[in-house]
Structure 1
Amino acid sequence: MSAASADDGNRLAPTRAGRVKRSMTAGDAPETVLGRYLIERDKGGRNASLFRDHRETEPRFVDAGRSLRSANAYPDAVRDMLQIAKHRGWDQLKVTGDVVFRREVWLQGQTLGLDVRGHKPTDRDRQAAGGPRDRPRRDGRDLSERLDRAAVVVRALIADPAAQARLMARALTRASERDPERSAPRDQRQRSR
């Protein structure tokens, strides 16, 4: 794959709505974002390809000025793309590409207050973005169900089984630290009452 293409399918760009002055200049990004990447430009100085490190063969994303494109839906890259969009004044975005990319852009865009079009959110997407939720269960099943859902996402995004196990163990530990009463085995909870 050429560095300039970075899968033209997964793309976010500003919508035409509104008359707010917006930047369309490649490279116009917060220094905090640019500092995390190695940047490669084409011979004309355009289409900045941003790489996380020197070993990567494909860029995490490409900054074409009028749009940002990525071959993957890495959450950290999507976060950085959205920070660039916000920095440029792109408060309304159109996202295209595969469903995983569109969902990730929509979810993270909600936390930044961006209007993201091109993804029809499901109820689960709205809940993940902090929308209305059912009342939490008192019997610990809510925690178990959330960890099960997290395990599905971890398996989908991370190929290494050892890394998956470490992440899930850390998630369980953090959940236990937040609410030791709900995460304790049932017999221990009954004795503590």
Structure 2
Amino acid sequence: MRTFKKTRYIPENAEAREFPQAGVVAYCYVSGLRYALLAYKGRQIRADLNLAFTTAEQRDRHLASYVERQTANENAKRERREAGHGLAVGDIVYETYGCEQTNVHFYEVTRVPSARSAVVCEIEAEKTEGGEHAMAGTAVPRPGVFKSGAMPRMHRAAYLHVLSGGAGHHGNLAKWDGRPKYYSSYA
């Protein structure tokens, strides 16, 4: 059986307009009595916009606003990619997760290979029970006291002072603000 590679639909009488900052290629053409627009984003095969207008000015206005939005999105993506985590060796990051029970884990930054990545290792926490509920309390990290068997792991920057959790983690690792973190254990 022969399969055909899918390609973009490009009308015969279309005028191609490229917007590299937005990553958009638009095809403007006349379809009957209407002024039509097909716009593709990136390497998509399916059109992101497939519209028809009564006047060419309406079509051009709509295309301009679409390109403006896509350019803003691309700039925001670029800024997020280029933004570093801002962490230094010795900083403490933590993750909390859970539904019926809240777990908290602390990690110490042991190495910073680049502004976009950091190596962390899990450290012990000092837990204090008390408060409103039984088997619940607060936890604070013990810097420099690594958990036995803890392996250093590389994490990528997600935002400023935040590392992505990666495999085996339940969320992002955020910089510890110095306040005790709530935990609960019902096991």
TM-score, normalised via structure 2 length = 0.21
The structure that is strand-richer by fraction is 2
TM-score, normalised via structure 1 length = 0.21
The structure that is helix-richer by fraction is 1
- Structure showing greater Rg: 2
